[in-house]
Amino acid sequence: MNQPQVHATALIGNGVTLGTGVRVNAFVNLYGCQVGDDCMIGTFVEIQSDVKLGARCRIQSHSFICSGVTLEEEVFVGHGVMFINDRHPSVQGALRRNWTLSPVLVGAGASIGSGAVIMGGVTIGKGAVIGAGAVVCKDVPDGATVAGVPARTLARS
């Protein structure tokens, strides 16, 4: 078996499972997540609890993947991508004490460009392409290419 390679500066919290052949780079924080076989996690990435990464995903540096996100196999996440799991974090300026987790599903083979923001509660279809800097506020169909703020469909395969 090909053992995971974890940089000495990475913080691997309780409940983390790493598949075979996983590479975790410097200054990564992982908490209670599942990382599939042959994934690569770049420098300065944080992945929170209840996140599932399928096999052969690639997470580039400075990305944040919050609780409730599932990436199917072979998903690419560019530099500085931000996932959000709460569509309504405050009410009239006050922090909400009881909020509902809004899960995100990213289909197999999807690619998310650098600096994109993925709002809670959306599904990104298989093979979809998210342009750099896009803000994804609604579901993206399989094979679609979206870009912009808010993200709009540019093409479908």
Dump pLDDT digits (tens) for 129-150: 999 999 999 999 999 999 999 9
Which one-letter DSSP state was computed for residue 102? Answer: -
Q: Are 4 and 36 in contact (CB under 8 A)?
A: no
7 given a catalytic annotation: no
CATH of domain 5-86+101-156: 2.160.10.10
Domains of the chain, residue spans: 5-86+101-156
Contacts of 56 by beta carbon, 8 Å cutoff, 6+ apart: 36, 37, 38, 39, 73, 74
Q: Are 135 and 113 in contact (CB under 8 A)?
A: no
pLDDT given for residue 148 in this prediction? 97
Mean pLDDT of all residues in 34-57: 98
Q: Looking at per-residue confidence, does 152 or 86 come out higher?
A: 152
Catalytic residue among 7, 62, 79, 88: 88
